[in-house]
Amino acid sequence: MYGKPALGTVVPLAGLTAAAPEVLPGLPYARGLQEAAGAGFLLYCSIAAVLLSLKFWYRIRNSGGRS
Amino acid sequence: MTDGIRIGDVPLGELLLWSSIAIIVMAGCYNTSLFLVSRRRFRRSRGPREQRCYVFLLACLNEEKVLAESLARITALPARNTLALVIDDASDDRTADIARAACAAHPGKVHLLQRHLPNARKGKGAALNAGIAHLRSSGLLDGRDPRDVIVCVVDADGRLDQHVVQAVDPYFDNPRTGGTQIGVRMYNRNKGLLARLQDMEFVIYGDIFQSARRYIGSVGMGGNGQFMRLAALDTLMGPDGSGPWSDSLTEDLDLGVRLIAGGWTNQHCTSAAVSQQAVLDVRRLVRQRSRWFQGHLQSAGLVPLIVKEVPTRAAVDLLYHLSSPVLILLTSLLPVSFLVAVVGTVIGSVEAGRPLISPMWVLGPYVLSFTAAYAYGWVYSRREQGLGLVRAVLLSHLFIFYGYIWFAAGWWGLWRMLTGKRTWLKTART
């Protein structure tokens, strides 16, 4: 997808909360948004792991069939 | 809310925060890897040279503003054995008249297929399928070996480089080559910043991502400047006689994946390009990208085929490629999070009577967000010599923000998909 370069170049909140220890207005919402993205990514990784396992299973099965 | 829950010794909230950073790290590693791989010199495997026939398919719906110029360029190509087939998809304007005039001016070289409602306007894939069926039924390809017929899909606004056939032809010397995608440029890239950034987007996609994917075996096909061997297209015909293109909103992506799954090799040619018209309005651009995004989501149906049929290395890349819409939606939350945090800090600073901003607020996000801009700027400056490296790097900083258009487009595309909307107005020419 042409939008792929956009990935990896987004401004994150990473480390910024540590730089400002005071309780700032809006910060819980900012953290919540970032946590939602993180939760989604964990789900993404889980599905990716299943798909890759399936892929390797097919590969092993096919190479076994050829030998 | 999540701080009370712990996974081992780590609070869940902290785990999720770091997990979100992992998205950027993963995407950054992927982009860097492909940038490095794309710098390798690519060697084509060679085979016997054949005299090939090139057929240019132009699926047209109300293209009177741009069609004449495109046909003029195709008929002027310095190559023998070429023909153009204009597929008029029931246009309301003078598209068919322009095609007829070209047929009269170049007898035997330009042909017209007119489709009529209610069978017309079923999408680009359906129009292209009708074109392939017409090529067969009309006898235009009689006596030709499908292995030596190359079908090229060109948008009606597509302006092909004059040396395109000479550039693409050697890729088909390899009998395993099913398709070859050429570069895409914007011919109106000097008409403002938005057009320039679209040109940069396509150059970066072609020169980094597509070029690297030649080594992975996962080159994708685009809707414009897509050259395919007819014998390869024949292998994608449905059992009911339906044509090789699907009715997906991104039929090009779909076709490229199915070619790879069918055992064909897709190539990317960096030495020739097709130039198309950039969209000059942000709202229309977001709408166009929403359509692509929705098509990309539809392509999730290709996952079982990839898992079963595509070689492992290419499969891993294609799975990442097909899942990138999900990552775009997830990462879209991060700039919003950043913005909320910045606004909160400004308010907090005013209340505290002293600045609560540390240099890390600027440095950290800059390094994470804009390191890629230097690589992108360098790649673009090599294509656009007149621009210069410094200006290209500055421009690529804006390109990073331009990429955020995909976030808006992504949510719009998802919304349309969830609400069952599948019809789209095509992007109007200007």
Closest in B29, B201, B356 to A20, CB measured: B356
Residue B46 identity: R
Question: Which residues of B are less than 8 Å from A33 in CB distance?
Answer: 333-334, 336-337, 340
- Which pTM value belongs to this model? 0.88
Report residue A19's pLDDT band, with 50, 70 and 90 as the boundaries. very low
What are the backbone dihedrals phi and psi of residue B99, each rounded to the nearest 5 degrees, phi first? -65, -40
Closest CA–CA distance from residue A5 to any residue of chain B (Å): 7
Per CB-CB distance under 8 Å, the chain A contacts of B204 are 5
Count CB atoms within 10 A of the CB of residue B26.
Answer: 17
Task: Look at residue B173 in the predicted model and tell me its pLDDT.
Answer: 92
Written as six digits, the tokens of B317 are 């890349």
Query: Which of A6, A14, A54 is facing B307, going by the closest CB pair?
Result: A54
Q: B83 - beta bridge partners?
A: B55
> How close is the nearest chain A Cα to the Cα of B297, in Å?
11
ipTM of this predicted complex?
0.85
The 10 Å Cβ neighbour count of residue B219 is 25
Distance of CA A38 to the CA centre of its chain: 6
- Is A30 a member of any domain? yes
Q: Which of B2, B308, B348 lies at the smallest CB-CB distance from A58?
A: B308
B333 near A CB under 8 A: yes
Which residue in B26, B344, B409 is closest to A25 by CB distance? B344
Q: What is the pLDDT of residue A1?
A: 55
SS3 call for B241: coil
Give A29 to chain B, closest Cα distance, Å: 7
CB–CB contact B368 A2 (8 Å): no
Pairwise CB contact (< 8 Å): B17 & A26 = no
**Alpha-carbon B37 to chain mean position:** 20
Rounded to a whole number of angstroms, the distance from the CA of A36 to the nearest CA of chain B is 7
The total number of structural domains that make up chain A: 1
**B230: which 2 tokens?**
């007819």
What range defines the domain where residue A34 resides?
24-67
* B138 contact A CB<8A: no
Per CB-CB distance under 8 Å, the chain A contacts of B323 are: 44, 48
CA distances from B187 to A56, B157, B172, B184 (A): 44, 10, 27, 10
- pLDDT (0 to 100) of residue B215: 94
For chain A, say whether B22 makes contact (Cβ under 8 Å). Answer: yes
Better-scored residue on pLDDT, B204 or A61: B204
Residues 2-21 of B with CB under 8 A from A: 2, 13, 15-21
Count of other CB atoms within 10 angstroms of residue B202: 24
Q: Using CB atoms, which residue from B22, B307, B407 is nearest to A55?
A: B307
User: Chain A partners of B26 at a C-beta cutoff of 8 Å?
Assistant: 8
Given a cut of 50, whether residue A14 has pLDDT beyond it is no
Domain residue limits, chain B: 53-289, 333-403
Res A8 pLDDT > 90: no
> Are the CB atoms for B264 and B310 separated by under 8 Å?
no
Contacts of A7 in chain B (CB under 8 A): 23-24, 27, 30-31, 324, 327-328, 331
User: Is A2 domain-assigned?
Assistant: no
List beta partners, residue B156.
Answer: none
| Stretches in chain B below the pLDDT threshold 50 | none
Percentages (nearest 5) of helix, strand, coil residues in chain B: 55, 15, 30
8 A C-beta contact, residue B124 and residue B38: no
Give me the helix-helix angle, B312-331 and B282-298, nearest 10°.
130
Answer yes or no: is A49 within a domain.
yes
Which of chain A's residues have a Cβ under 8 Å away from the Cβ of B29? 8
- Whether A66 is in a domain gets the answer yes
A vs B: CB pairs below 8 A: 223
Which has more pLDDT, A2 or B58?
B58
Q: Which of A7, A17, A62 to mutate to test the interface with B (most CBs of B within 10 A)?
A: A7
What distance in Å separates residue B142's CA from the closest CA in chain A? 37
- Distant-in-sequence, close-in-space partners of A3: CB < 8 Å, separation ≥ 6: B289, B293, B324, B328, B403, B405, B406, B409, B410
Q: Is A32's CB within 8 Å of B1's CB?
A: yes
| Pairwise CB contact (< 8 Å): A31 & B13 | yes
State both tokens at B201: 């987007």
Residue A66 pLDDT: 55
Write out the two tokens for B155: 């948008």
User: What's the pLDDT score for residue B154?
Assistant: 94
**Straight-line distance from the first to the last Cα atom of chain B, in angstroms, rounded to the nearest whole number:** 51
CA distance A15 to chain B (A): 8
Contact B20 A37 (CB under 8 A): yes
Q: B263 — contact with chain A (CB < 8 Å)?
A: no
How many alpha carbons lie under 13 Å from residue B212 in its C-beta half-sphere?
17
Instruction: State the number of CA atoms in the 13 A half-sphere of B284 facing the CB.
Output: 14
**CATH number for the domain whose boundaries are B53-289:** 3.90.550.10
Q: Do A38 and B2 touch (CB under 8 A)?
A: no
DSSP letters, B27-93, are HHHHHHHHHHHHTSPP----------EEEEEEEESS-TTTHHHHHHHHHT-S-SSEEEEEEEES-SS
B103 in helix, strand or coil? helix
Helix (H, G, I), strand (E, B) or coil at B181: strand
Give the model's pLDDT for residue B349: 82
Residue A35 lies in a domain: yes
Q: Among B206, B201, B240, B209, which Cα is nearest to B226's? A: B206
